[in-house]
Amino acid sequence: MQIYKVGGAVRDKLLNLPVKDTDWVVVGALPEELLDQGYKKVGKDFPVFLHPQTKEEYALARKERKIAAGYTGFEFDTSRSVTLEEDLRRRDITINAMAEDDQGKIIDPFNGVADLKKGILRHVSEAFAEDPVRILRVARFAARFGFQVADETLTLMKQMVQSGEVDALVAERVWQELDRALGEEHPELFFEVLRSCGALAVIFPEIDRLFGVPQTAKYHPEIDTGIHVMMVLQQAVKLTDDKQVRFAALVHDLGKGTTPKDILPSHHGHEQRSADLTKELCARIKIPKEYRELGVLVGQYHTHCHRIREMKATTILTTLEKMDAFRRTKRFDQFLIACEADAKGRTGKENDPYPQAEYFKSLQRAAASVDTKSFVEKGMKGDQIAQVLREKRLSTIKKEIKSLSI
DSSP 119: T
pLDDT at 313: 96
* CATH architecture of the domain covering 205-405: Orthogonal Bundle (1.10)
Count the neighbouring beta carbons within 10 Å of the beta carbon of residue 356: 18
Residue 76 in 3-state DSSP?
strand
- Cα separation, 282 vs 271, in Å, equals 17
Q: For residue 224, count CB atoms less than 10 angstroms from its CB and return exposed for 0-12, middle for 13-18, buried for 19 or more.
A: middle
Residue ranges of domains in the chain: 1-115, 205-405
pLDDT at 267: 47
Contact 403, 376 (CB under 8 A): no
Asked if pLDDT for residue 195 goes beyond 80, the answer is yes
pLDDT at 405: 82
Residue 199 in 3-state DSSP?
helix
Determine the average pLDDT of the residues in 247-268. 75
- Cα separation, 40 vs 51, in Å, equals 7
pLDDT in tens, 113-145: 999 999 999 999 998 998 999 999 999 999 999
pLDDT at 224: 87
State percent of the chain over pLDDT 70.
Answer: 91
- The alpha carbon of residue 328 and the mean position of all alpha carbons in its chain are separated, in whole angstroms, by 23
Let me know if domain 1-115 sits in CATH 3.90.1310.10: no
Contact 124, 97 (CB under 8 A): yes
pLDDT in tens, 147-160: 999 999 999 999 99
pLDDT in tens, 271-308: 899 999 999 999 999 999 999 999 999 999 999 999 99
Q: What are phi and psi of 340, to 5 degrees?
A: -65, -40
Per residue, what are the HEC states of 225-274? HHHHHHHHHHHHHHHCCCHHHHHHHHHCCHHHHCCCCCCHHHCCCCHHHH
Question: For strand 57-60 and strand 48-50, is the pairing parallel, antiparallel, or unpaired?
Answer: antiparallel
Determine the average pLDDT of the residues in 22-29. 91
- Cα separation, 184 vs 132, in Å, equals 21
- Cα separation, 290 vs 300, in Å, equals 16
Count the neighbouring beta carbons within 10 Å of the beta carbon of residue 177: 21
pLDDT in tens, 203-235: 999 999 999 888 764 555 557 899 999 999 999
Which pLDDT band holds residue 78 (cuts at 50, 70, 90)?
confident
- Single-letter code of the amino acid located at 238: K
- Cα separation, 220 vs 330, in Å, equals 31
Spatial CB neighbours of 262, under 8 Å, sequence gap ≥ 6 = none
C-alpha pair distances (Å), 78 with each of 4, 28, 56, 59, 389:
16, 9, 19, 9, 69
Spatial CB neighbours of 82, under 8 Å, sequence gap ≥ 6 = 27, 60, 61, 62, 63
- The alpha carbon of residue 187 and the mean position of all alpha carbons in its chain are separated, in whole angstroms, by 7
- Cα separation, 275 vs 191, in Å, equals 20
Count the neighbouring beta carbons within 10 Å of the beta carbon of residue 42: 10
pLDDT in tens, 361-398: 999 999 999 887 777 666 677 777 788 889 999 999 99
Sheet architecture: strand order including 57-60: 40-42, 48-50, 57-60, 23-27, 2-6, 99-100, 106-107
Contact 155, 176 (CB under 8 A): no
Which pLDDT band holds residue 71 (cuts at 50, 70, 90)?
low
